[in-house]
Structure 1
Amino acid sequence: MQGRMVTWSMASVIVAAACIFLSCSASVAHGRRFVRSSSYDKPCKEMRLYLHDILYDYSNSTSNSTSAAATKPTALATAVPSTGGTFFGQVVVFNDPMTEGRALPPSLEETAVRAQGVYLYNSKEAFNAWFAFSIVFNSTGRRGTLNLMGADIIAEKTRDISVVGGTGDFFMSRGVATLRTDAFEGFTYFRLQMDIKLYECYVV
């Protein structure tokens, strides 16, 4: 009897370890069952979205602004003579509309997809930024969030940032978002084309 108990206990440990280290193919969250679908050769989901950022600078309309500087640039931003100022150290908080086409939506406050988070200028010699934000989906077709973060090397034609997780219809999703500056007007407006490829998806 004792030998059987030891054998059963060892089997339980092995099964539990396999589930932890091999990532069981099914997960349960909020009463829903998700099945993992991943391939590192071909994305399991792709989408293209456009992010519209309108920075409030005291001269434009408050109702038409979707982002605001939470800090001023540091003294180091203007201390490098060759650049003329790069906003180094400035942090911007944003709640931007996202669209499937390039046109601004009729209402900047009521869109089915929004990008909410921060970007900060992190270079004293060039206009470079670092993003940390969530894409929030709230429509009959898609609900949940995708969480993204990474460096935006603005001088590059395209740059990649990481999709590090998600919720709802994007539960535990992971992948890459490729950014491209699609349009800009001075320092108050820019539009980013965002091509999102998910390589790890959980489907209901």
Structure 2
Amino acid sequence: MEGMITVFGWAIFCLAIAPVYGEYYSETTPAAVAEKVTQLHFFLHDILSGENPSAVMVARSNLTNDDDSPTPFGSLFAIDDPLRVGPEPTSTVIGNAQGLYLSSSQDASKFTIVMYIDFAFTSGKFNGSSFSVFSRNPVTEGDREVAIVGGRGQFRLARGFAKIKTSFLNATNGDAILEYNVTLYHF
């Protein structure tokens, strides 16, 4: 009986001190790296038409079957759009934008999308780096701004904004060329 009390006593002792060793731990150290600001300028070519589109519809609401626009309300698109140095389809490719956008406006005259897109650079000074946009994009507005919410590589911990202008839009098939002026704050 005495051995059982000893074992029971040790079990209670171990349970009593366990919270001491299982506490949450964190450490904060001051950052020694200065924040940088980078300005970027490029063109995104979003092509829905042809044999090799860079954007494809992956889902569509059953309620918009009568809508014959290329981007009806409730439609979800997957993209792998080239980023180019100019608006010409033959200009040099410097990266690609991959992600999703959702047609989120019921009013066709105020066409708006919500986008999650990663802008990755595949050549030049920023090769291997990217930044991410997660924002509302009111496409029919002339000049608009979207939020940059992260990045990797040289754009680690990026935040900032992108000013977008439509350089070309074909309202019939949805093809668009968009000019991006980006301001990134990163480490």
**Cα deviations across residues 157-180 of structure 1 (Å, max 9, x unaligned)?**
111111111111111111001111
Q: Counting strand residues as a fraction of each chain, which structure ranks higher?
A: 1
Name the residue aligned to 2:117. 133
Name the residue aligned to 1:124. 106
Computing the radius of gyration from Cα coordinates, the structure with the larger value is 2
Counterpart secondary structure, 1:75:
helix
Hey, which bits of structure 1, 4+ residues long, moved more than 3 A?
A: 76-79, 83-86
Q: Counting helix residues as a fraction of each chain, which structure ranks higher?
A: 2
1:163 aligns with 2:148: yes
Q: Give me the TM-score of the superposition, normalised by structure 2.
A: 0.74
AA aligned opposite 1:133:
I
Residues 66 and 76 of structure 1: CA distance in aligned 2, closer, same or farther (over 3 Å) = closer
TM-superposed deviation, 1:61? 1.6
Structure 2 unmatched ranges of 5 or more: 1-26
Counterpart secondary structure, 1:141:
helix
TM-superposed deviation, 1:84? 8.2
1:46 aligns with 2:39: yes
Q: How many pairs align?
A: 157
Contact 2:84 2:91 in 1 (8 A): no
**Cα deviations across residues 103-134 of structure 1 (Å, max 9, x unaligned)?**
11368xxx331000111101112321111100
AA aligned opposite 1:134:
D
The CA distance in 1 between the partners of 2:115 and 2:89, in whole Å, is 22
Q: Give me the TM-score of the superposition, normalised by structure 1.
A: 0.69
The CA distance in 1 between the partners of 2:62 and 2:131, in whole Å, is 31
Structure 1 unmatched ranges of 5 or more: 1-15, 27-34, 39-43
Paired residue for 2:31, among 25, 29, 33? 25
AA aligned opposite 1:36:
A
